[in-house]
């Protein structure tokens, strides 16, 4: 370990999205490399003249399909205006209509309450402002090019972690009074995903390995509209397109959504995704069309510059062409079970953002609530870490002769989940790529999950998936590399998702079982829980 790198700090934040950044700022620190910057649609808050906090709360609860934690939802919507104003105060430049903030509407929202920036680059703009704020703080140690391999336990609590330095391919250990996991989602468990390559669910996997309780893993949201074009990645085509008038058509050019839901293209995401799958099956195709041609070309280019330019690079003009789309894995509603302050079932371990399961999203996330959740609960987790470790901090400071005559060093070691091409906080727009070619076993796992644990599920396929995943030879790596750790973590999470999905014998939100197509509130209006060495239970 380099001589200028501490092996003991007060706090560690693992991850670099909005939740990790906001928690780090609460602790006086910063991070790098994330999926936050990929967010196109926006961030929801009841700030417009026509909106009310109670309506935002109602829409969130309704989208969650009976499984939201009502207290978490209430916190989210009531604190939203404060955190939006905080972002604006830190320099976030949201789009405006004249002098007023501009709002758009997305699926399952009853009002136009989605703030956006640079048209469709909201996540990038929020990341820029948060990085600038974090970099202005002095007491910080950033460790880029680091991949966390496991948590360290001591005296009955999580006391640090081990990580792989990807620049030297060496293993290191760092101790801390508290560890926050904010490593994002798990979209790479599936063959088709809108998530960046880093979204391999590592935070959830290492927490499970350490004995933490995970919750609601069966609820994976599939975004209805990802680009479905040969040679192109499944690039996300924001729900805001439909909020601004885009419609869905099948290959016969029929507008079909009204047959599935009265809200049409603005129905909840799970409804739209299943409707698209049904139309693809009925017409024997592997895509439908997104049609934005009713809006003027100049408006489309200005409102969605990033989407427009990306599609244009693949020969599509979204203002005049029908764009082929199909669903892709997008967001994990479940994760590491936490309370309203980010505390997990393990002392010393905290989680926030998509890595955590606060219950705020229930069975189906309301569009554009995720960036907001990262802000609100990331800040709360940071505050809880400070409060919970305050006596220990004072004790360490009093017993450390290096602190005599000056303030105690309140230092956070900031570890990126993975950062092979991480440029540091000066350039949050770069994203790391997989370290080397994809493993054939990894591709097999992703295919099994897409085929048998995807949008449409049934008990037979889920049981088969569990059996197939169990036969794959994926051992815990003795000499870890990023690629071997990600493979191990993806297989672990795939098994946990499939087991949770098989145990929930009903359909709710994003979890649809053709053999149990209806709600079963008596047995399953509860959260699933799973921990190492235990069966799935519900409470």
470, two tokens: 């169990």
For residue 202, give the 3-state DSSP assignment. Answer: helix
Smallest Cα–Cα separation from 303: which of 345, 245, 348, 368?
245
Active-site hit among 128, 143, 269, 499: 269
Q: What is the DSSP letter of 153?
A: E
CA-CA distance, 378 to 26, in Å (whole number)?
Answer: 8
Cross-strand bridge partners of residue 151: 161
Q: Angle at the Cα of 238 (from 235 to 244), degrees rounded to 5?
A: 145
Give the DSSP H or E segment for 444. Answer: helix 440-452
CA-CA distance, 155 to 159, in Å (whole number)?
Answer: 8
27, two tokens: 């602790």
CA-CA distance, 390 to 369, in Å (whole number)?
Answer: 31
CA-CA distance, 411 to 180, in Å (whole number)?
Answer: 14
301, two tokens: 């280019």
Q: Angle at the Cα of 162 (from 158 to 165), degrees rounded to 5?
A: 155
For residue 277, give the 3-state DSSP assignment. Answer: helix
Cα dist from 451 to 189, 405, 472, whole Å: 12, 63, 17
Smallest Cα–Cα separation from 352: which of 8, 76, 62?
76
Could you confirm whether 269 is annotated as catalytic? yes
Instruction: Please tell me the number of Cα atoms within 13 Å of 182 on its side-chain side.
Output: 38
Q: Which residues are catalytic?
A: 269
């Amino acid at each position: 370990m380099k001589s200028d790198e501490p092996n003991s700090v007060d706090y560690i934040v693992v991850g670099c999205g909005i939740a990790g950044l906001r928690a780090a700022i609460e602790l006086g620190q910063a991070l790098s490399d994330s999926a936050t910057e990929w967010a196109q649609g926006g961030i929801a808050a009841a700030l417009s003249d026509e909106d009310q906090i109670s309506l935002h709360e109602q829409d969130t609860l309704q989208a969650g399909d009976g499984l939201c934690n009502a207290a978490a939802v209430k916190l989210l919507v009531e604190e939203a205006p404060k955190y939006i104003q905080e972002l604006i105060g830190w320099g976030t430049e949201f789009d405006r209509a004249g002098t007023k903030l501009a709002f758009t509407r997305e699926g399952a929202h009853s009002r136009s309450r989605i703030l956006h920036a640079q048209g469709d680059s909201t996540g990038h703009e929020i990341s820029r402002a948060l990085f600038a704020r974090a970099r202005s703080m002095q007491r910080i140690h950033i460790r880029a090019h680091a991949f966390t391999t496991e948590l360290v336990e001591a005296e009955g609590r999580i006391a640090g972690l081990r990580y792989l330095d990807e620049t030297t391919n060496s293993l290191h250990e760092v101790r801390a009074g508290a560890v926050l996991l904010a490593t994002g989602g798990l979209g790479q468990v599936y063959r088709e995903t809108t998530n960046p390559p880093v979204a391999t669910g590592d935070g959830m996997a290492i927490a499970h390995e350490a004995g933490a309780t995970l919750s609601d893993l069966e609820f994976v949201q599939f975004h209805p509209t990802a680009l479905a074009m040969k040679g192109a990645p499944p690039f996300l085509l924001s729900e805001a397109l439909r909020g601004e008038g885009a419609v869905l058509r099948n290959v016969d050019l029929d507008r079909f959504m009204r047959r599935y839901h009265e809200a049409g293209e603005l129905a909840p995401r799970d409804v739209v995704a299943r409707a698209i799958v049904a139309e693809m099956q009925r017409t024997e195709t592997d895509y439908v069309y997104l049609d934005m041609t009713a809006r003027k070309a100049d408006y489309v280019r200005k409102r969605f510059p990033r989407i427009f330019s990306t599609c244009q690079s693949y020969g599509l003009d979204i203002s005049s062409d029908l764009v082929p789309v199909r669903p892709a894995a997008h967001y994990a509603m479940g994760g590491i079970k936490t309370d309203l302050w980010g505390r997990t079932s393990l002392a010393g371990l905290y989680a926030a953002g998509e890595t955590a399961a606060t219950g705020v999203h229930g069975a189906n996330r309301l569009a554009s609530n995720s960036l907001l959740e990262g802000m609100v609960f990331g800040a709360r987790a940071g505050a809880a870490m400070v409060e919970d470790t305050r006596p220990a901090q004072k004790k360490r400071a009093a017993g450390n002769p290096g602190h005599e005559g000056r303030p105690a060093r309140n230092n956070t070691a900031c570890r990126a989940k993975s950062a092979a091409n991480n440029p540091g906080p000066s350039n949050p727009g770069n994203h790391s790529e997989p370290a080397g070619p994809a493993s054939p076993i990894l591709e097999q796992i992703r295919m099994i999950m897409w085929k048998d644990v995807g949008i449409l599920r049934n008990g037979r396929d889920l049981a088969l998936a569990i059996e197939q995943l169990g036969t794959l030879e994926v051992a815990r790596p003795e000499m870890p590399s990023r690629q071997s750790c990600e493979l191990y973590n993806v297989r672990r999470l795939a098994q946990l998702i499939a087991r949770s999905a098989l145990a929930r014998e009903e359909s709710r939100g994003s979890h649809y079982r053709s053999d149990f197509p209806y709600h079963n509130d008596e047995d399953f209006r509860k959260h699933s829980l799973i921990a190492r060495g235990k069966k799935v239970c519900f409470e």
